[in-house]
Structure 1
Amino acid sequence: MYRRSEPEGLGLRLERPHQRLRSGGGSLLDLVPAVTEEPAANEEAPAEAEDGTSARVVDIPVPAQARALEKQPSPVADFFPQLHLLGSIGVNDLIGWLRNGARWIVLALVLSVAAAFAYAVTATPRYTVYTDLVVDPSNLNVVSDDVFTTNPQRDAQLLEVESKLRILTSRNVLQRVIGEMRLADDPEFVRPTLLDWLKALIAPRDAEADKELAAMRALSERVEARREERSFVVILKVWSEEPAKAIALSDAIVEAFEAELFQSAAESAGRVAQNLNERLDELRRNVTEAEKRVEDFRRDNGLQSTNGELVSNQLSSELNTQVLDGQQRFIQAETRYWQMSAAVAEGQTASASVFESANMTNLRQQYNALQQQIGSMQLTYGERHPRLVAARSERTTLEAAMKDEARRILERARADFDREQKALDALRGKADDEKSNVFTDNQAQVQLRDLERDARSKAAIYETHLARAQQITERQQIDTTNIRVISRALPPNARSWPPRTLILLIGGGLLGLAIGIAAALALGLWKFLRGKTHVAA
Structure 2
Amino acid sequence: MAPSSLSAGPRADGELSLLELLQLVHRRRWLLLVGLLLGGLGGIGVVALVSPVYVAQALLIIEPDRAGRGGPTVASASDTLDSASVDSQVEILTSRSLARQVIAQLHLETDPDLTARPRAGLLRLLLGETTSDAAAHGDLVGRFLDRLAVKREGKSHVIKIAYRSGDPVRAAEVANKLAELYMVGQLSRKFDASRRQSGWLQERLAALKGRLDASEAELARFRAASGPVLGEGFAADPGEIAGLNGQLVAVTAERAGKEAVLDRLRRLVAGDGPVSTLGELGSSPLLDHLTALKADLLRREAELAAQYGERHPKIVDIRAEKAKLEARLQQERQALLRQFEGEVDRSRAKERALARQLEELKSKALQREQAVQRIRELERAVELDRRLYEDHLARASAEEVPETIRAPDARLISEAVAPTEPSFPKPKLVLSLSLTGGLLLGIAAMYLAEAGERGFRSARDVEEVLGLPVLALVPKLDTRRSGLPPQDYLLERPRSRYAEALRELLASPLLRRPAGAGGKVVLVTSSLPREGKSTLVLSLARAAAAEGLRVLAIDADLRKPSLHALAGLKAGAGLVEVLRREVPLAEVAAVDPKAPVRLLPGSQRLSQPTRLLGPEGLGALLMGLRPNFDLVLIDSAPLVAVADPKLIADLVDAVLLVVRYADTRREFCRACLQSLIDIGAKPAGVVLTQTDQRRHARSAAHDAGVAAARLGGYYRD
Per the TM superposition, whether the score is higher than 0.5 is: no
TM range (shorter): 0.3 to 0.5
Q: Which has the higher contact order (CA 8 A, sep 6+)?
A: 1
Could you tell me the TM-score, scaled by structure 1's length? Answer: 0.41
